[in-house]
Amino acid sequence: MISGQEGSLRSIGKYQILGPLGRGSMGLVYKARDPEIGRVVAIKTLRKILSADPQDVEAAVRRFKFEARSAGNLRHPNIITIFEVNHDAETPFIVMDYVEGESLDSIIEKERRVAPATMVQYLNQVAAGLDYAHSRGVVHRDIKPSNILVDRSGNVFILDFGIASINESFPGAEQTGSMAPIMGTPGYMSPEQILNEKLDHRTDLFSLAVVAFECLTGQRPFPGDNFTTVIGNILNSKPLSLTALIPEMPLPLEAEFEKALAKSREDRFESASRMLAAFAHAAGVDAGDGRGSPRAPMRTRKMSAWKSIKRVWGDETQTGPSKTSPVAEAASAPKSGQSAPWEAVKQAPVADSFSERMRMGTGSHPGAIFSHGDHAVGSQPFLRFKQSPARIVALSVAFACLVVASVVLWYALEPEAAPVVARQGSSNQNGANPALDAQTAGAQIGELVVPGVDPLPKDKTVHEMNDRELLGVIVRGGVSEEMIIDALRECRQRNVPALVDASVFPLQHDSFLVRLETIRILGEMGDKRIVPQLMLSLDDHDPLVRKEVAVTLGKLGDRRALGYLNARLFKEEMADVKAEIKNAIERINGFPMGR
């Protein structure tokens, strides 16, 4: 029998009450002791159900016991163990393992924002527990920070498997009688959960993504101060922008959240572990050991050859003695007893090439070439010619040669556009690329490298192909558009590293469906190396493709695209495409455009 009042119970069944722990969505939670073995436990009781229909009460108790028994069969290090499901008089209760720790909601409230590495450390353990439960056919249905417990050693536990009902803390929830069978907490419920549809494991993945978003930003992606507003936002609105709330968050992470919070369950991740792995990769966190240790960036951008030349010359737009190149200092301030810089140039060894002259520091800076006497060109408001006409002609010819050499060198060192233009129009009607052979692998297209591929195998489905065969379908073409689209999706599912490099070819496919799917996948992957190729697709003849390109460029957030986007904005005739281009510009800039 239950002895004492609700707030001062002395026992429940055989268990001695040590004190209250808190109030859950189903009832009160107590700390208690099992007198037979001396074990400290947590006991959750079912609150009194106020209903005029006795069948409602009976159904609630039956559901409470059935689902508690289902959760009691789970044995996983990240799931709180249930020892007993019983009732005392008219009060059902569940006896669980007691863990000394802090709930995730109190951690978020205290810290305001949880670092990405810590978020991955915590939720990777939650994901492991969920995947195990899902493999046993158990769906939690109420994943939220208050049901995630973190102990002092950083171990994480999931509470309340399948036993929570709708949270009545939202005004108006108690008036939604038609939604009484729904179980969950509104701010974390999936769309299918709100609509009372049949649920599978992907409803827990949606809720876990909401928890991850809240960890990083301190607020849920679908806000609202009452029940109706919250569920309306979940069903009809896009989630809040991660990078708008926290600008330092990487755009690829926002793309992964868009997938995780998709309205349709078919568009979400297949498992909790895959979702957390995607979050970790996009955030630059190593989640391999479940502890979320920071890792070095996977890719470093190579400085272009033209920028390396500027490094040798020095940046003439900068001023100040600390930013002046050594060559410029030698030109502007020759020491006494030495010949003028122009004479030094004449006496220097003759280099065989322009690059050799740069290495030797001879004639590599305009100030060294055009300085005269003690004054460098540009250090005086007017150039004073005190030389013979022949010297003036020689200087003019030298200047013209330098300009021509610079132009030639620019095209020699920045050949990105050539490979793309050469390949445009090279595909046949089936999208095949006959010019592509084994020797093409490794060819440079801007920042991308054509991957090595294998020939198209016979009698193999896309799902049976290895990575190189899939890339062969994408790069070589010569197959149906359906097969190319399937290969793109399979590569994305497997996270094939060379997919971004290979995507240059389907971007030029004759089928707009292939081009659309390629652009959509590139937006999900968040690799900015593809931006120069995507910019060319802004001139695609199909407005749907142009619209998707604008959306993807906005997601990628690369400022290199601003010039193309602004130019296209004035040329675009389709209103919806124009609106997406404007949105992309505003997203990259971080502020709205003027009217």
**What are the DSSP calls for 268-330, one per residue?**
S-SSHHHHHHHHHHHHTEE-TTSS-EE---S--PPPPHHHHHHHHH--TT--SGGGS-HHHHH
For tokens 């009160």, name the residue.
Answer: 28
456 within 8 A of 483, measured Cβ to Cβ: no
Cα(375)–Cα(371) distance, integer angstroms: 6
325 within 8 A of 313, measured Cβ to Cβ: yes
Is the same domain home to 269 and 173? yes
Cα(133)–Cα(139) distance, integer angstroms: 7
Residue 300 lies in a domain: no
Cα(229)–Cα(565) distance, integer angstroms: 35
- Phi/psi at 494 (5° precision): -85, -10
473: nearest Cα among 444, 447, 446, 498 = 498
Is the same domain home to 133 and 233? yes
16 within 8 A of 36, measured Cβ to Cβ: no
For residue 329, CA distances in Å to 316, 370, 477 come to 12, 14, 57
Q: Residue 589 in 3-state DSSP?
A: helix
331 within 8 A of 365, measured Cβ to Cβ: yes
Is the same domain home to 62 and 190? no
DSSP state of 169: T
| Burial class (CB within 10 angstroms; exposed 0-12, middle 13-18, buried 19+) of 332 | middle
Cα(131)–Cα(308) distance, integer angstroms: 50
Structure tokens at 538: 């802004």
544 within 8 A of 517, measured Cβ to Cβ: no
Return the C-alpha torsion angle 64, 66, 68, 72, nearest 10. 170
Query: Up-side HSE of residue 363: CA atoms within 13 Å toward CB?
Result: 20
Please say if 459 is a catalytic residue.
Answer: no
Q: Residue 399 in 3-state DSSP?
A: helix
* 225 contact partners, CB below 8 Å, separation of at least 6: none
pTM for the full model?
0.48
Length reported for the chain = 595
- Give the pLDDT confidence score for residue 395 in this predicted structure: 77
**Domain residue limits at 77:** 6-97
- Give the pLDDT confidence score for residue 405 in this predicted structure: 73
DSSP state of 143: -
Residue 581 lies in a domain: yes
Q: Residue 153 in 3-state DSSP?
A: coil
Q: Which amino acid is at 413?
A: L
* 409 contact partners, CB below 8 Å, separation of at least 6: 309, 354
Residue 594 lies in a domain: no
Please name the helix (run of DSSP H) or strand (run of DSSP E) that holds residue 149, with its range, or none.
strand 148-151
273: nearest Cα among 439, 131, 474, 111 = 131
Is the same domain home to 114 and 242? yes
Residue 299 lies in a domain: no
Residue 1 lies in a domain: no
Residue after which a domain boundary falls, among 413, 448, 472:
413
Q: Which amino acid is at 565?
A: L
149: nearest Cα among 106, 107, 110, 101 = 101
- Give the pLDDT confidence score for residue 49 in this predicted structure: 56
Is the same domain home to 45 and 16? yes
Pairing of strands 448-449, 444-445: antiparallel
Structure tokens at 240: 């809040």
Cα(93)–Cα(1) distance, integer angstroms: 12
For tokens 């190579």, name the residue.
Answer: 302
Cα(515)–Cα(512) distance, integer angstroms: 5
- ∠ CA 302-305-310 to the nearest 5 degrees? 110
Cα(553)–Cα(530) distance, integer angstroms: 10
Structure tokens at 404: 């021509």
Please name the helix (run of DSSP H) or strand (run of DSSP E) that holds residue 195, with its range, or none.
none
Is the same domain home to 90 and 180? no
Structure tokens at 64: 């409470």
CB atoms within 10 A of CB 492: 16
475-479, Cβ contacts within 8 angstroms, sequence gap of 24 or more: 475/433, 475/436, 475/450, 475/451, 475/502, 475/505, 476/432, 476/433, 476/436, 477/427, 477/430, 477/431, 477/432, 477/433, 477/505, 477/506, 477/509, 478/428, 478/430, 478/431, 478/432, 478/433, 479/430, 479/431
Cα(61)–Cα(64) distance, integer angstroms: 5
Is the same domain home to 432 and 487? yes
Question: Which residues are registered as beta bridge partners of 444?
Answer: 449
Q: Residue 485 in 3-state DSSP?
A: helix
Structure tokens at 516: 């659309």
Is the same domain home to 460 and 368? no
pLDDT in tens, the chain (595 residues): 444 444 567 888 899 999 888 776 567 889 999 998 889 999 888 766 555 556 666 766 676 666 666 667 788 999 988 888 887 777 788 888 899 889 999 999 999 999 999 999 999 999 999 999 999 888 888 999 999 999 988 999 998 875 544 444 344 444 433 334 456 688 999 999 999 888 899 999 999 999 999 999 999 999 988 888 999 999 999 999 999 999 999 989 999 999 999 999 999 999 999 999 999 999 998 765 444 444 433 333 333 333 333 333 344 334 444 444 333 344 344 444 444 433 333 344 444 443 444 444 444 343 333 333 444 334 344 444 445 677 777 777 887 777 777 765 654 554 443 333 333 333 444 445 544 543 456 676 778 888 888 888 888 888 889 999 999 899 887 788 888 999 999 999 999 989 999 998 999 888 888 999 999 999 999 999 999 889 888 888 888 899 999 999 999 999 888 888 888 888 888 888 999 999 999 999 888 876 5
- Give the pLDDT confidence score for residue 7 in this predicted structure: 52
Structure tokens at 571: 């040329």
252: nearest Cα among 278, 285, 289, 223 = 278
Q: Which of 88, 97, 131, 142 is catalytic?
A: 142
- Phi/psi at 91 (5° precision): -110, 110
Structure tokens at 219: 């607020």
Is the same domain home to 518 and 581? yes
105 within 8 A of 144, measured Cβ to Cβ: yes
Residue 84 lies in a domain: yes
The CATH number that applies at residue 203 is 1.10.510.10
Question: Which residues are registered as beta bridge partners of 87?
Answer: 92
Residue 226 lies in a domain: yes
Is the same domain home to 86 and 177? no
Is the same domain home to 120 and 254? yes
Residue 556 lies in a domain: yes
| Burial class (CB within 10 angstroms; exposed 0-12, middle 13-18, buried 19+) of 97 | middle
Count of domains forming the chain: 4
Is the same domain home to 118 and 248? yes
The CATH number that applies at residue 456 is 1.25.10.10
Residue after which a domain boundary falls, among 74, 97, 120:
97
Cα(276)–Cα(292) distance, integer angstroms: 10
Residue after which a domain boundary falls, among 413, 445, 474:
413
Cα(258)–Cα(524) distance, integer angstroms: 9
The CATH number that applies at residue 59 is 3.30.200.20
